[in-house]
Copies of this chain bind each other. A is one copy, B any other.
Amino acid sequence: MNAQTDAQVTADSDIPAIMQEIGVSARTAARVLAMASTDAKNNALKSAAAAIRAGVTDILSANKTDIEAADERGISNAMRDRLLLNEDRIESMAVGLETIAELGDPIGDIIADWTPPNGLRITRVRVPLGVIGIIYESRPNVTADAGALCLKSGNAVILRGGSESFHSSRAIFDCLQHGLKLAGLPAAAIQIVPTTDRAAVGELLRMHEHVDIIVPRGGRGLIARVQNESRVPVIAHLDGLCHVYVHAGADFDMARDITVNAKMRRTGICGAAETLLVDRAVAKSHLPAIIDALVELKCEIRGDEAVTASDSRVKPATPEDWDTEYLDSILSVRIVDGIDEAIEHIENHGSNHTDTIVTGDAAAAAKFLNEVDSAIVLHNASTQYADGGEFGMGAEIGISTDKFHARGPVGVEQLTSYKYVVHGSGQVRP
């Protein structure tokens, strides 16, 4: 067990010195990890999974400590649910580690290979990014998921979980450490910040000489702080303000089923729809059945004037509604005069995450897919497919709404960079 895990560092400790030490040892570990064999990385992941299964009692006990403290502070039900672990959720974590072990190893892959007229053989080879800092909030399972994704992609990782999940994350972290030890990999390959002091986050965001990339996972407040303060490049994962657009050419059943699924399958995930746009031409024919189905599932509907006037169950939407991610059983609904108005609405109010068009009209679909500037644009499918697993990319650390580096699901491959390896036969440049 790592000495770090013995006690929480108190707030008056020397946070900058602690963080520097973590950064320096992460950099050293990253050099070893970049050369580590696929077997060693996979063995560490499988042993960590076994340690999680063997450690269920310890993990539950640590989680109980966190839950009791949270209950004393009176946290929301939603946050309590995110924090709570049980045997099923712990088993899911173990399975998650094994799934990542089974994914292909991207490191060393030759992405491209060509020979220009100078006769040099140029190859573009996949390499790790180096050191990744993950800053997250209440879900303790991020400790296992993020630790495993970074390890598999050959990166050292510095984890900084939320204070409310401190003990749970530490118990899971101990299992990851066990896996590293059995596989002969450096303990500093996966580190966890041993304090809940917020100053530690500030240090992490400034350590650009030791940290290559920061991935924040959490609410808007966390993301905004990270984007404002970070001196290290960031892959941001904003919750999504996703749209369903029912075009004039939409099939009746498909429009209803996709809207209901996009909104209600799970309301708290980033791919959940928050706003429905309906072409005026099909508002009378298609919208009532959609509202019926949603109301039956106890979804609140907030509509523009036309929608509110047409249905007494609809509350009037305020201007703020179009910019609100409810992450709850609420949907805002607006009637639009055709595809240009729909695209303009998404441009003005969307979050560049995931948006879908329902239509049988191929030209309209092509226009929407081309012009909507989101990480994921779909035609005739639910926005809830915004998920690395559904994309066949395996586990992911979130959905990036950035355009820089990784966009969309961020899996093992997105946590890598590349280098050019050039084979010559004595070439000197004329």
Interface residue ranges, A against B (CB under 8 Å)? 31, 34-35, 114, 116-118, 120, 122, 127, 129-130, 208, 212-213, 227-228, 231, 233-234, 251, 253-254, 257-258, 260-262, 265, 347, 369-371, 373-382, 384-385, 390-392, 402-405, 407-408, 417-429
Contact = CB atoms under 8 A, between A and B. Distances in A.
Contacts of A265: 428-429
A286 B26 CA distance: 39
B417 A403 contact: yes
Given A382-B427, A426-B380, A427-B380, A417 B404 contact: yes
Q: Which 9 A-B pairs have the closest CB atoms?
A: A381-B424, A116-B392, A261-B428, A403-B417, A380-B424, A378-B422, A381-B427, A384-B429, A405-B405
A113 to B, nearest CB: 12
A403 B130 CA distance: 9
Contacts of A261: 428-429
Contacts of A420: 375-377, 391, 407-408
B404 A369 contact: no
A387 to B, nearest CB: 8
Contact of A403 (B120, B212, B257, B428): B212
Contacts of A390: 116, 118, 120, 429
Given A129-B403, A428-B257, A377 B118 contact: no
A421 B381 contact: no
B231 A233 contact: no
Given A265-B429, A417-B407, A429-B261, A422 B120 contact: no
A27 to B, nearest CB: 10
Contacts of A212: 403-404
Contacts of A35: 370-371
A26 to B, nearest CB: 15
B422 A129 contact: no
